[in-house]
Amino acid sequence: MCGIVGHIRSGGQVDRSLFDQMRDALAHRGPDDAHSHYLLDGRIALGHRRLSFLDLTPAGRQPMSNEDDTVWIVLNGEIYNYLELRADLIRAGHRFKTNSDTEVLLHGYEEWGMNLLDKVKGMFAFGLVDLRGGKVFLVRDRFGIKPLYYRHDRSGLVFASELKAIMVDPQAPREIDFSAFADYFVYRYIPSPKTIWKGISKLAPATYLTYDIHTGQTTFSEYWVVPHGKRKRNEQELIHSFGAALDRSVQLHARSDVPVGSFLSGGYDSSAVVYYMARAQAKPETFSIGFSGWGQSEDQYARIVADQLGVPLSTTVADSSSLELLDIMPDVYDEPIADISIIPTWLVSHLAGTKVKAVMSGEGADELLGGYTWQKDFFAQRHIPLGQRLRQYIKGEKIDTVSYYAHAMAMGRFDKAELAAMFTEGYHQYIAPDTDWFYRQHYDERLSPLQSIQKMDIKCFMGELVLTKIDRASMANSLEVRVPFLDHDLFEQVLSTDERTYFKPDITKYLLYENIKSHLPKAILDRRKQGFVGPDSYYMDINWYCSILDQSKLVRDGIIRYEYYTRLIAGQEHWKLWKLTVMEKWYRRWS
């Protein structure tokens, strides 16, 4: 895993000293090595910070080029099927000088062009320069596991793995986009393509940007869409093929020249990953987090799994003092993000980073298999007896899917009226006419009720919140997180099937359960789903909120109404206060 940066100027040369400062702002993403390369008499710069996993020799250094130096690449990520693609390319006549997955992308581009993206399995963001074609390509993986930010204006194109690298440049915009500011309170994150800064964007998942070096024009191409269908399949056949595909995915994700560990929460997903790793004769180091004084603390369940599977487990424990880590989150994330597990995720990443360079994790299983409570609740509401549906229809009680989803996601609902109450009058102009616009953008009414929710989870909740959280928290600790459930073949296999085949309301994550039920302890199989959040009491200390917000810079600068803040305190609305506090911390750091 690495940090990448690039600068393509429309005229003149790149400032090399400044560019190296931008590159080194990503040192936490790649502490093992740093290198920059300049093309077209210094008009193009590519930079790389390396966290080494494959081909640990200097030959694996980036930026990397093809044989005649006409194609260059910087990659952040892992191509898990690189050995298979390498074999195909060798048969086609290509010669390799390294054992890295990066070189596979170079030769793959030479052989297949951007159709290469249909063939790769992995998590990746990369910048590729084709000097012969006069093009630069910025590419992000199908699910958005790895980030990529860019600034495009008349002076050229700048891109980087994190906003902080772009912000090193004094020419970078430093004007807050208050429409994105408002979106944050609705979604808990800032949705693509927006960022908190005007003039800087984030590339959407499953998308590549093409930049013409000669004209400065850009185009965007979506190269993969979430598959959905109603194909009928035999349940036992699907259970078997799902288990085999997951087993294969874990094996591919374990490819590395250094040890790979795993997060372990004691839930279905991470426990299944560790089971498949152990079955493949690997005994991974595992890592868990607990919460002081909480009877449902996940570390105790992780211990049950670790003991049964015979793997080592290290644990860290969060308590009320851990909330002070919120002070560093504006530098970890660069943008405000109000997922309530940002601190626990940082803590367990910090622990793992002291022992290994990479871990596996269970993200993606709930989105794929219908494991979230809001998915089950929505399924139940939509699959009711015909007579009851008719009565609801007569009464006008139609379920608005987007509204339902917005409420399920909110954790402190901010609609148009709530934003107007919070903002002072001068900022009302930035409130979107439809505050749920991003959910609506990814809602497909043609899909079944459950699959419409699953699609929004994949593109919104997971793609923008969950994967951002895990990437920044882990990479801040120079730790790579691999997510074997996020294999596009798995998603295509399951979601092209009629939902009643893979989803059972009374059996949590049916396909996964059927594959692990004989291999994990009953105490784990019988657990109710529990998010990675800790006890609610962890976020309900009103005095702590007061200690931060009584001297609010957002209030002092005339953005947030003081009366609104005092109303939240009086009503002890801790989820809205959490969002406000995260933004306050960000605003103090970056404004």
Q: Give the pLDDT confidence of 354-365 residue by residue, as tens digits.
A: 999 999 999 999
User: Tell me, what's the pLDDT at 257?
Assistant: 79
Q: What is the mean predicted confidence (pLDDT) over 22-27? A: 98
The residue out of 222, 248, 282 marking a domain boundary is 222
Greater model confidence, 429 or 231: 429
Distance of alpha carbon 99 from alpha carbon 121, whole angstroms:
17
**Does one domain contain both 24 and 58?**
yes
CATH number of the structural domain spanning residue 258 = 3.40.50.620
> Within a domain: residue 187?
yes
Catalytic residue ranges: 2
Contact, 516 vs 271, CB < 8 A?
yes
Residue range 162-175, pLDDT digits in tens: 999 999 999 998 99
Rounded to whole angstroms, the Cα distance separating 202 from 193 reads 5
Say yes or no: 75 and 93 in one domain. Answer: yes
What is the per-residue pLDDT across 257-309, written as a single tens digit (0 to 9) for each? 788 999 999 889 999 999 999 998 778 999 999 988 877 788 899 999 999 99
440 falls within a domain: no
The average confidence (pLDDT) of the chain is 93
pLDDT, tens digit (0-9, with 9 covering 90-100), for 529-551: 666 566 777 889 999 999 999 99
Closest CA to 454 of 379, 531, 368: 368
Within a domain: 409? no
Residue 376 above 90 pLDDT?
no
Residues 312 and 165 in one domain: no
Question: Tokens at residue 281, please?
Answer: 């004769």
Whether 384 shows a pLDDT value over 60: the answer reads no
Look at residue 425 and tell me if it is in a domain. Answer: no
Q: What is the mean pLDDT of residues 106-132?
A: 97
Percentage of the chain with pLDDT > 70?
95
Specify whether 212 is located in the same domain as 244.
Answer: no
Residue of 382 and 466 predicted with greater confidence = 466
Same domain, 64 and 171: yes
User: φ, ψ for residue 197 (rounded to 5)?
Assistant: -105, 135
CA distances from 27 to 8, 21, 89, 123 (A): 21, 10, 33, 20
Mean pLDDT value of segment 562-583? 97
Q: Give the structural domain span for 577.
A: 540-591
User: 136 and 195 share a domain?
Assistant: yes
Q: For the domain that residue 97 is a member of, what is the CATH number? A: 3.60.20.10
Structure tokens at 180: 């994105």
Buried residues in 350-360 as b, exposed as e (16+ CB within 10 A): bbbbeebbbbb
DSSP state of 559: S
- List the end-to-end C-alpha distance of the chain, in Å, as a whole number: 30
pLDDT for residue 390: 44
Residues 176 and 76 in one domain: yes
How confident is residue 56, by pLDDT bands cut at 50, 70 and 90? low
How many Cβ atoms are within 10 Å of 292's Cβ, its own excluded?
A: 14
For the residues of 336-391, what is the DSSP string, one character each? ----TTHHHHHHHHHHHHTT-SEEE--TTHHHHHT-SHHHHHHHHHHS--HHHHHH
**What number is the average pLDDT over the span 369-396?**
67
Last residue of a domain, one of 191, 222, 253: 222
Residue 141: alpha-carbon gap to chain centroid = 10
Question: How many structural domains is the chain composed of?
Answer: 3
Q: Domain check: are 466 and 554 in the same one?
A: no
Is pLDDT of 144 > 70? yes
Tokens 């910025």, residue located: 138
Q: How high is the pLDDT of residue 175?
A: 97
- pLDDT at residue 3 in the model: 95
pLDDT in tens, 454-497: 999 999 999 999 999 999 999 999 999 999 999 999 999 999 99
Same domain, 10 and 128: yes
| 363 domain residue, yes or no | yes
583, pLDDT greater than 50: yes
Statement to judge: residues 243 and 212 lie in one domain? no
In sequence order, what DSSP letters do the residues of 420-481 get, joined into one string? HHHB-GGGGGGS-SSTTHHHHHT--TTS-HHHHHHHHIIIIIIIIIIHHHHHHHHHTTT-EE
142 belongs to a structural domain: yes
Same domain, yes or no: 63 and 116 = yes
pTM, two decimal places:
0.94
The residues pairing with 219 across neighbouring beta strands, listed in sequence order, are 210
Whether 411 is in a domain gets the answer no
Spatial neighbors of 249 by CB under 8 A, at least 6 apart, are 80, 484, 485, 487, 489, 490
Q: Which residue is associated with the tokens 């004691």?
A: 266
Find the mean pLDDT for residues 509-527: 93
Q: Are residues 293 and 341 in the same domain?
A: yes
Q: What is the pLDDT of residue 574?
A: 95
Distance between CA 566 and CA 49 in Å, rounded?
45
Last residue of a domain, one of 535, 550, 583: 535
Residue 445 inside a domain? The answer is: no
